[in-house]
């Protein structure tokens, strides 16, 4: 495959960046600085496994499920397709009927990336924090029938917001655990918090690419941060 473009699908990580609203913010700091100490060292003082671009594996929502290190590296990459859902409004569900429009495009074993362009809304606002387009039950069943390898989203979760905070009650009618379990129980890796999927589309409704979303190889964790990118061929 001759590579025409490499597209970074990971957001930059910075102190206080938007994260899951009920969890603490990312925090890191320099404890050594080259101008004073001859070398620089930064220490992460707080980072949960679901900040920025990251993967979910079965242990995330299935007691006793597989952890991130129990999958071979090749499970975190593969050929696949980006699908255009940029017309979805805040809080909209991505249904099986929506995905049916792309039925002939999705192949068995594909990585399926759902482009809502939600990364362009990243920030401390209601749309990004709570009202992203989410995969519902019929959409999950459609992808299960297609026997895909992985599914990705620019939102903080593949499922809809179902928590309650002072600023926002539940948005989705489906349990987040239900949606995660449907996918993870079939060894479908979930990739969340992505950016720039619209660049992969390149003005089309769909576009194929080779995707890499390899997490750090922590032992016994339910997921992990990754540097995700797409290789787009001629």
All structural domains of the chain with their residue ranges: 3-12+49-233
What confidence score (pLDDT) does residue 171 get?
Answer: 97
Q: What is the pLDDT of residue 59?
A: 98
Share of the chain above pLDDT 90, in %: 97
CATH topology of domain 3-12+49-233: Glucose Oxidase; domain 1 (3.50.30)
Determine the Cα–Cα distance for residues 115 and 183; give it in Å rounded to an integer.
Answer: 18
The predicted structure's pLDDT at residue 150: 98
Q: What is the pLDDT of residue 3?
A: 85
**Residue among 140, 145, 30, 34 nearest 93 (CA):** 140
- Bridge partners (DSSP) listed for residue 171: none
Tens of pLDDT along 14-57? Answer: 999 999 999 999 999 999 999 999 999 999 999 999 999 999 99
Q: Which residues of the chain have pLDDT under 50?
A: none
Q: What tokens does 19 get?
A: 């994260």
């Amino acid at each position: 495959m001759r590579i025409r473009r490499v597209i970074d699908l990971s957001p930059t990580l910075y102190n206080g960046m938007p994260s899951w609203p009920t969890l603490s913010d990312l925090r890191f700091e320099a404890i050594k600085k080259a101008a004073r100490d001859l070398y620089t060292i930064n220490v992460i003082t707080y980072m949960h496994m679901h900040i920025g671009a990251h993967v979910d594996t079965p242990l995330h929502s299935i007691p006793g499920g597989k952890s991130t290190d129990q999958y071979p590296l090749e499970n975190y990459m593969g050929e696949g397709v980006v699908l255009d859902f940029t017309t979805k409004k805040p809080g909209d569900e991505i249904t099986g009927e929506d995905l049916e429009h792309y039925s002939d495009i999705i192949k068995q074993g594909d990585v399926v990336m759902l482009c809502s362009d939600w990364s362009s809304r990243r920030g401390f606002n209601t749309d990004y924090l709570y009202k992203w387009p989410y995969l519902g039950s019929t959409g999950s069943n459609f992808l299960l029938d297609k026997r895909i390898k992985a599914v990705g989203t620019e939102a903080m979760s593949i499922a809809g917001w179902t928590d309650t905070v002072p600023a926002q009650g539940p948005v989705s009618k489906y349990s987040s655990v239900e949606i995660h379990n449907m996918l993870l129980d079939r060894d479908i890796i979930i990739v969340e918090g992505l950016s720039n999927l619209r660049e992969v589309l390149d003005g089309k409704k769909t576009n194929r690419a080779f995707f890499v979303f390899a997490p750090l190889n922590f032992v016994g964790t339910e997921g992990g941060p990754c540097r995700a990118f797409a290789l787009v061929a001629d």
